[in-house]
Structure 1
Amino acid sequence: MKINILIFFLTLFSLSGFTQNTVKINAICPLIKDGTEITLIKAAPRRFEKSKLKLITKSAYHRFSFVIPTGFGENYLLYVNKNFARLHLGPSDIALEIIDSTLKTLKVTGNKTYDEYEEFNSDQSKSSESKAYDIARVNYYHSFEANNITSKEREILKIKVDSLNILKQKKDLQLSITFINKHPSSYLNTFLLYNLIDRAPEKTISDAFKKLPLQSKKNTWGSELQYRIDSLFIGSKAPAFMQADTAGQMVSLNSFKGKYLLLDFWASWCVPCRADNPNLIKAINNYSNKNFTIASISLDSDKAKWMQAIKDDKLTAWTHLSDLKVWNNEVSSKYYVYAAPNNYLIDPNGIIIAKDIHGEELLNKLNELIK
């Protein structure tokens, strides 16, 4: 009898754990035709693009449902036709009512994390910085449709958008930190912090992340935040990689151990990359005999164009690597490179010591490090 009771409680515990780690979405959609395809995609950081969860069903009797693994807070995109809505969900089943056919008006009940996400979005959209930025951005894009606007006037509009975006990012940082302090155990916090990467000081991100309770870090965004803090922040160990050079020989990061390495991301089609190449030549000429080298990762798809650019720009004094997958380049994905030119400066022990430095800034940094 005691054994049976023990098995009962162990089974109950196991089932409760399973329930906690899945969420059922029960939806009603009175204005969506039966038989309409409904798609739910789990949003994920760049390294997981190929393995993102995607579920598809069809509406029947103006209803549909999904069961998803989202016990520690995950972000999903719900698609109906060409419209979508974002759902950030924690460990609780939800009732979803789609008020219209465009997903602009949703009613979600039963999920605290969703309510917190809506609270944050409301605060963000109401900020004067967001409103000013949105207006400026709309004006800038409309300028391309207007025949009476000069290129100079359009450039002024772009400068205004960029300056207002800086103010918006500062406000977003403030709102995010305020929210996290107000809701320290929210499953939303890792997602908010992740979205601040590259827009906030690394120390601000890592300090805030350390303070989060372990339970709230167990989602996709918490895991990837940990990866980026441990592997891509200044002072962290650079991620290992192996990629083919121009002759097809595999080259690893470890092969540069003992030298200062500029891991440079570029492409033959990238105009600012090509403009920056003379600075790389100057750097290699000044410091190649002082424990410094360069490994350039090409984001090209055409090997002939890649090779021709190396020849034309006289970039033969260092190592060139590529898998010719453009933005799906495996090293680019590991290092979260979204734009070119971009780079990481890595010390002889494989530690990242600087990021995205170009021109005189790069030369000054090398002069400071290498005597």
Structure 2
Amino acid sequence: MKYNSIKSGLFMGGVVLLLSSSCKQPAADSFSIKGSVKGLDSGVVILQQFDEEEMTKKVLDSIPFKNGAFELNGKAMNPEMMSIVVRPGNWQTNVFVENSEISISADTTGAEHYDYTAYGGDKGAVLKEVLITGSGNHDAYQTFEKDPQQLKFKEGFAALNKAYELEKKPELKEKMKLKFDSLGKLNNAWQSKWINTYLQQQPGSVAGAYILASYYQMNSDMPLSEIEALLSKVKGEAEKSIYYRRILKSVNSRKAVMVGKDAPDFELLKRDSSSFKLSSLKGKYVMLDFWASWCKPCREGIPHWKKVYQQYQPKGFEIVSITNDSRRADWTRALDQEKMPWIQVADEFPVKNRTARVISQYEAPFLPFYILLDKAGKIIVRSGDEKDIDQKLKELL
């Protein structure tokens, strides 16, 4: 089960835009966004920015939406993917904003409605019938999104999703997951090749950096050598983008916790609210187990770790399970059910809706994820496969 703060295909950054709704004719260093939405008459149109790090939405400009049309004017410090939202109804689409004359023609027909109010989110609709012209970066992004091979993969996933929803037998649903994995690997291979070719031809394209960032967000466990090879192709304006800088930040964070590095110390609370510090286990082999109550493969692996713990704990081995549950009741219920005999602590969420502190510090890309430390506190294994931990423990103990 993959873990990530956001699992949409959109990776929107936080570069500041300077806006002026009173400016009617854009100069070379400003933008104009003229749009119309068939099926809507009036309301308010919003230019919205998504801050990936803070997991927040920021309204950059808001103007009246009259007779089904609007016009936004301003200045973009850097090209950036933004959202256009029409309220009431939260009808939205995304557009790569850059300093040019941009035109948007949309239709509410066929819009994809969503409702996340039960999770504290919004209710609205994503516009599907949209034509955007005038933004070179948006054109480049659409070249990727509408590539015939990309469309085939989307159709394949849609068909699998439909079949999965209709299937009633649990054992058959489990088998279908293998088809998702297989198609996902083929899709990733194609996307990686496409991005590599595109960056070689257009190294300064901010859209290229955006597409790379989107890909990396969904494949944050890819080998460092691969992502660094792709990053090395990004040049010029794209290298100044928030998308490039965010990938680079993640790569540097991953390097800090790779095999051979000292494990960063941390302090978290146990179930009884007493404090646990990782450094207190120096002198033992320690496995950090990143998990959550809602993670099915995490729960399925617990019987195996009970056997491992029973075998190696007397020889100087300890496990520290770090839950990614944001609701304490879910965590404590799982502890009562699973009765794991090793150390249990809860990760912290300093900022609402953002990833937890320690799992982010250790760059654990998904759940379950395991990190094995030697007696000196150095990282000797990083893996999502329990077999890698088993093999190393067999060598050591």
Q: Name stretches of at least 5 consecutive residues in structure 1 with no aligned partner.
A: 1-16
Is 1:26 the counterpart of 2:33? The answer is: yes
Give yes or no for contact 1:77–1:85 (8 Å, CA) kept in 2: yes
Is 1:362 the counterpart of 2:370? The answer is: no
Following superposition, the deviation at residue 244 of structure 1 comes to 2.1
Q: For 1:148-159, list aligned pairs within 5 A.
A: 158-159=177-178
Corresponding residue number in structure 2 for 1:76: 82
Which amino acid counterpart does residue 231 of structure 1 have in structure 2? S
- Equivalent position to 1:114, from 121, 125, 138: 138
Partner of 1:222: helix, strand, or coil?
helix
Give yes or no for contact 1:190–1:225 (8 Å, CA) kept in 2: no
- Structure holding more helix per residue: 1
2: CA distance, partners of 1:329 / 1:159: 29
Partner of 1:164: helix, strand, or coil?
helix
Give yes or no for contact 1:189–1:216 (8 Å, CA) kept in 2: yes
Give yes or no for contact 1:37–1:56 (8 Å, CA) kept in 2: no
1: CA distance, partners of 2:244 / 2:265: 21
Corresponding residue number in structure 2 for 1:262: 287
Mark the structure with the bigger radius of gyration. 1
Q: Measured at CA, do residues 237 and 97 of structure 1 come closer, stay the same or move farther in structure 2, by a change above 3 Å?
A: farther
Q: Measured at CA, do residues 283 and 145 of structure 1 come closer, stay the same or move farther in structure 2, by a change above 3 Å?
A: closer
Following superposition, the deviation at residue 114 of structure 1 comes to 2.2
Which amino acid counterpart does residue 92 of structure 2 have in structure 1? F
Give yes or no for contact 1:26–1:64 (8 Å, CA) kept in 2: yes
- Equivalent position to 1:282, from 298, 307, 328: 307
Which amino acid counterpart does residue 80 of structure 2 have in structure 1? E
Q: Measured at CA, do residues 103 and 142 of structure 1 come closer, stay the same or move farther in structure 2, by a change above 3 Å?
A: closer
1: CA distance, partners of 2:353 / 2:286: 22
Partner of 2:146: helix, strand, or coil?
helix
Following superposition, the deviation at residue 112 of structure 1 comes to 3.0
2: CA distance, partners of 1:288 / 1:170: 41
Q: For 1:110-149, list aligned pairs within 5 A.
A: 111-123=135-147, 126-127=148-149, 130-143=150-163
Corresponding residue number in structure 2 for 1:310: 335
Q: Measured at CA, do residues 329 and 163 of structure 1 come closer, stay the same or move farther in structure 2, by a change above 3 Å?
A: same
1: CA distance, partners of 2:166 / 2:336: 42
Following superposition, the deviation at residue 182 of structure 1 comes to 1.0
Corresponding residue number in structure 2 for 1:175: 194
Give yes or no for contact 1:191–1:221 (8 Å, CA) kept in 2: yes
Is 1:65 the counterpart of 2:92? The answer is: no
Give yes or no for contact 2:204–2:236 (8 Å, CA) kept in 1: no
Corresponding residue number in structure 2 for 1:48: 54
- Aligned-residue sequence identity (percent) comes to 22
Following superposition, the deviation at residue 246 of structure 1 comes to 1.8
Give yes or no for contact 2:220–2:365 (8 Å, CA) kept in 1: no
Is 1:36 the counterpart of 2:43? The answer is: yes
Q: Measured at CA, do residues 338 and 361 of structure 1 come closer, stay the same or move farther in structure 2, by a change above 3 Å?
A: closer
2: CA distance, partners of 1:232 / 1:334: 9
Give yes or no for contact 2:253–2:361 (8 Å, CA) kept in 1: no
Following superposition, the deviation at residue 303 of structure 1 comes to 3.6
1: CA distance, partners of 2:372 / 2:73: 45
Following superposition, the deviation at residue 264 of structure 1 comes to 1.7
**CA RMSD, Structure 1 to Structure 2 (Å):** 3.9
2: CA distance, partners of 1:322 / 1:192: 31
- Equivalent position to 2:203, from 184, 187, 199: 184
2: CA distance, partners of 1:215 / 1:245: 47
Q: For 1:98-113, list aligned pairs within 5 A.
A: 98-101=105-108, 102=127, 104-109=129-134, 111-113=135-137
Which amino acid counterpart does residue 384 of structure 2 have in structure 1? D
Select between 266-275 and 250-259 the one with higher mean Cα deviation.
250-259
2: CA distance, partners of 1:364 / 1:249: 33
Which amino acid counterpart does residue 115 of structure 1 have in structure 2? D
Give yes or no for contact 2:204–2:238 (8 Å, CA) kept in 1: yes
Give yes or no for contact 1:243–1:251 (8 Å, CA) kept in 2: yes
Give yes or no for contact 1:345–1:353 (8 Å, CA) kept in 2: yes
Which amino acid counterpart does residue 162 of structure 2 have in structure 1? H
Give yes or no for contact 1:98–1:105 (8 Å, CA) kept in 2: yes
Which amino acid counterpart does residue 354 of structure 1 have in structure 2? R
Q: Measured at CA, do residues 246 and 76 of structure 1 come closer, stay the same or move farther in structure 2, by a change above 3 Å?
A: same
Q: Measured at CA, do residues 182 and 103 of structure 1 come closer, stay the same or move farther in structure 2, by a change above 3 Å?
A: same
Give yes or no for contact 2:285–2:316 (8 Å, CA) kept in 1: yes
Is 1:220 the counterpart of 2:242? The answer is: yes
2: CA distance, partners of 1:25 / 1:350: 54
Q: Measured at CA, do residues 156 and 60 of structure 1 come closer, stay the same or move farther in structure 2, by a change above 3 Å?
A: same
Q: Measured at CA, do residues 145 and 288 of structure 1 come closer, stay the same or move farther in structure 2, by a change above 3 Å?
A: closer
1:224-251 deviation digits (Å, cap 9, x = unpaired): 2122211235446766654322232444
Following superposition, the deviation at residue 219 of structure 1 comes to 2.8
1:49-87 deviation digits (Å, cap 9, x = unpaired): 1x443346232462131647551x432233334543232
Corresponding residue number in structure 2 for 1:13: none
Q: For 1:238-257, list aligned pairs within 5 A.
A: 241-252=266-277
2: CA distance, partners of 1:350 / 1:55: 45
Give yes or no for contact 2:221–2:365 (8 Å, CA) kept in 1: no
Corresponding residue number in structure 2 for 1:340: 367
Q: Measured at CA, do residues 300 and 103 of structure 1 come closer, stay the same or move farther in structure 2, by a change above 3 Å?
A: closer
Q: Name stretches of at least 5 consecutive residues in structure 2 with no aligned partner.
A: 1-16, 20-26, 109-126
- Equivalent position to 2:358, from 299, 319, 331: 331
Q: Measured at CA, do residues 305 and 105 of structure 1 come closer, stay the same or move farther in structure 2, by a change above 3 Å?
A: closer
- Equivalent position to 1:87, from 92, 95, 100: 95
Following superposition, the deviation at residue 154 of structure 1 comes to 5.9
Q: Measured at CA, do residues 43 and 351 of structure 1 come closer, stay the same or move farther in structure 2, by a change above 3 Å?
A: farther
